[in-house]
Structure 1
Amino acid sequence: MSARKPVLLYFYPAQSSFVVKDLRFMEQQYEVRHQGFLPKKKWQTPLVWLGQVVFLLRHIWRAQALVCMFAGYHSFFPALFGKIARKPCLLVAGGTDCVAFPSIRYGVFANPLLGRFARWSYELAAHIAPVHEKLVWQEYRYQPNDYPHQGFRFHCPNLRTPHTTIYNGYDADFWQPDLTLTRQPNAFLTVCAGLDMRFTQRLKGLDLILEVAARVPEAIFTIVGAPAGFRFPDQPVNVKLLPKMPLHDLKSVYSGHTFYMQLSMSEGFPNALSESMLCGCVPVVSQVGGMVDIIQGSGYVLAQRNVELLETLVKTALTADNSQRALNARNIIKENYPEGRRETELLGLLRQLTTSFD
């Protein structure tokens, strides 16, 4: 009879693709007991907290470690119980839990109460594992309406909890160009959830894309993630909307476009950007978060949130020979950010933490 796996408790605010991926990694070595923190209304948060406390009281004494994806309301009690029970709590910092953009009310630290719970979580955790160094601390110059620096150590200046960066990882065997498709040379692609919300449009730079589309009619701009029947007001004719789609179909869409645009005001380590690069798209990114480091010169960088600068960048991209950039983009993600690297480093860090607490 095989030895029983040690128990690990895993908490997350939404079951996103990266949560599912990390769960798959951890289930290889642990019996993972996981719980989402998903109140449908704000007033239900105390009830969800109560359920989380009950879950912790039932399982923490058997657990070897706890993991929280993102810092926020959902990470406070796991970090606190881990501290009390002397069980290491690893907090994975992914993006929104490291920033504050009051101008658009985005980021955990833009909300004073939520920011307080995030700070407490960071302080109580045994270790923090950001997906990129820029989530720890970064200079911010993309637009002038918010803080000149971002990162959890900027917003938690007295924080003593150690951190280890563990990059996101991607399956290069799955995410590869579909060579049966013809790639449109003048086509730009963006994938975005919640694109019908004005807040999301500004956060993800969709407003810039709509503006530049009107200025560069010879280009095609495709946005994936549109609800049924949705259209932007005064949508340019060269902007095409597609619905949210499964990963296999998304791979085909990546393979049909030459460029992938990620013009966000804030990002950590965006999945769609990395997936598109593996599928041979040339990246066009804002100078935000880890994106400039991730693309490593294989694409184009918008230094400031300015439509005139973007227009120049788009026209430059359209007239350039991008064949080598596309090859470089795929190789950068394949060689530097393989799925196996995240798996090895995440499980290695958990082993290190549990050993130090024994």
Structure 2
Amino acid sequence: MILYTFPIRTAFIDRDMQMISPKMEIKTLEFTQSPTKLPFYFLLQFFQLLWFLPKTTQYLCFFGGYHSVLPVWFGKIFGKRCIIQAGGTDCMNMPEINYGNFRKKWLRKATVYSFKNCSLILPVAQALVQQEYQYDPMISRKQGLLNLIPDLKTPIQVIPNGFDTDFWKDLGTARKPFSFISVATGTSNPSRAIVKGYDLIEKLAERHPDWSFTLVGDPSYFSSNPNVTVLGKMKPIELLDLYNGHQFYLQLSTSEGFPNALGEAMACGCVPIGSAVGAISEIIGDDRLVLSSKRLPRLEKLIHELPPRDVLRKDAAQRIRQMFTYSKRATLLLEKLSLN
């Protein structure tokens, strides 16, 4: 049995479960993101790992952090593999925007211990392994695991996310010109909003009152711009309709791993516009749609100089179908899990 632990349950976790559970027995153990609850959850997790120890064949963690320390330790003590899927914040040190595990002393120690002592690291993007960050000049250039843990010896293999293009697809509906959508959770937290690029989106909305913007994921997020619509979390079927009602998808993150919503929106025919961070450039695959530096004039110029939208719409959906399939990720992930 695989024990799968993570700080909070996300759509990414659900997708992994859909991939793994038909082939292998797997059980999820959710941890916490609350600092005040950490002592209780460490104790709870210890007894959970002890209880399931006789049936456990290996451990799987999404993100490195506090929640991965005990699974890694149990793996070393009892000779069981522990695999960590690096997702983004666990590979970053960005105190300038209050982001990344490495900006906090004890979280950094937990993250470093986990990555140095686990059996295998499976990042969702090559940029999480090592990168020369250049998008926001305020932020340190040296990012990624090999820059932040120079003596890291643990084997690493990148396995990108994959998307169900039988579900996420262009329905052929008409779309309002200059309609933009972006999806992110927790953006009522100001630092989280900056991480997800909402500060730049708000400036764009203010400069272009005739354009429409939809921000999905956090109903508590507030926008002072009348052309910005804020929606809470949506079910996949609702997101499918939303994507198909918008011309553009904005992924202007200051930091990112491999954003799921970007791939979903592209599969649905949204023309992507993204920042040059994480795997965004790789996902989009067209430099004309990638913002190289965090500057509003450059973003406006990019939008105004775009080639015909219908061609970009078709290209976006085709790229996801060809490059980032659900089956490709499932095959690679199951192959690694089966090597136990």
- TM-score of Structure 1 vs Structure 2, range by shorter chain: over 0.9
Deviations along 1:98-155, one digit per CA (max 9) or x if unpaired, are 1111011111111121011001000110000001111100110011222212111111
Which residue pairs with 2:197 in the alignment? 205
Q: Which amino acid aligns with 2:45?
A: Q
Give the superposed CA RMSD: 1.5
Structure 2 counterpart of 1:73, from 66, 69, 72: 66
1:346 counterpart = 2:317: no
Alignment of 1:25-40 (within 5 A): 25-38=19-32
Alignment of 1:142-181 (within 5 A): 142-179=135-172, 181=173
8 Å contact 2:219–2:230 — kept in the other structure? Answer: no
Aligned-pair CA distance for 1:299: 5.5
Deviations along 1:276-316, one digit per CA (max 9) or x if unpaired, are 00000111000111110111117611111111212222222
1:301 counterpart = 2:290: yes
Larger deviation, residues 30-39 vs 7-16: 30-39
Aligned-pair CA distance for 1:246: 1.1
Gaps in structure 2 of 5+ consecutive residues: none
Q: Which amino acid aligns with 1:149?
A: K
Aligned-pair CA distance for 1:194: 2.0
8 Å contact 1:13–1:38 — kept in the other structure? Answer: yes
Q: Which amino acid aligns with 1:268?
A: G
Aligned-pair CA distance for 1:241: 2.2
Which residue pairs with 1:47 in the alignment? 40
Q: Which amino acid aligns with 1:260?
A: Y
Whole-angstrom distance in 2 between the partners of 1:239 and 1:227? 12
CA distance 1:178–1:299, shift in 2 (3 Å): farther
Q: TM-score, normalised by structure 2?
A: 0.96
CA distance 1:34–1:231, shift in 2 (3 Å): closer
Which structure has the bigger radius of gyration?
1
Whole-angstrom distance in 2 between the partners of 1:97 and 1:241? 28
Deviations along 1:56-94, one digit per CA (max 9) or x if unpaired, are 112223221110111000001101110111111111001
Q: Which amino acid aligns with 1:327?
A: K
Alignment of 1:315-326 (within 5 A): 315-317=304-306, 320-326=307-313
Secondary structure of the residue aligned to 1:184 is coil
Deviations along 1:145-176, one digit per CA (max 9) or x if unpaired, are 22212111111110000011111110000001
8 Å contact 2:212–2:227 — kept in the other structure? Answer: yes
Which residue pairs with 1:4 in the alignment? none
8 Å contact 1:143–1:304 — kept in the other structure? Answer: yes
Which residue pairs with 1:231 in the alignment? 222
Secondary structure of the residue aligned to 2:229 is strand
Whole-angstrom distance in 2 between the partners of 1:171 and 1:66? 26
Whole-angstrom distance in 2 between the partners of 1:175 and 1:299? 24
Q: Which amino acid aligns with 2:251?
A: Q
Deviations along 1:27-55, one digit per CA (max 9) or x if unpaired, are 1222212211026x422211111111111
Q: Structure 1 vs Structure 2: percent identity of aligned residues?
A: 37
8 Å contact 2:170–2:317 — kept in the other structure? Answer: no
Alignment of 1:41-190 (within 5 A): 41-179=34-172, 181-190=173-182
Which residue pairs with 1:333 in the alignment? 320
Which residue pairs with 1:20 in the alignment? 14
Whole-angstrom distance in 1 between the partners of 2:39 and 2:29? 15
Count of aligned positions: 340
Q: TM-score, normalised by structure 1?
A: 0.91
Aligned-pair CA distance for 1:226: 4.0
Whole-angstrom distance in 1 between the partners of 2:9 and 2:222? 28
Which residue pairs with 1:222 in the alignment? 214
Aligned-pair CA distance for 1:182: 2.0
8 Å contact 2:288–2:302 — kept in the other structure? Answer: no
CA distance 1:299–1:257, shift in 2 (3 Å): farther
Whole-angstrom distance in 1 between the partners of 2:171 and 2:288? 20
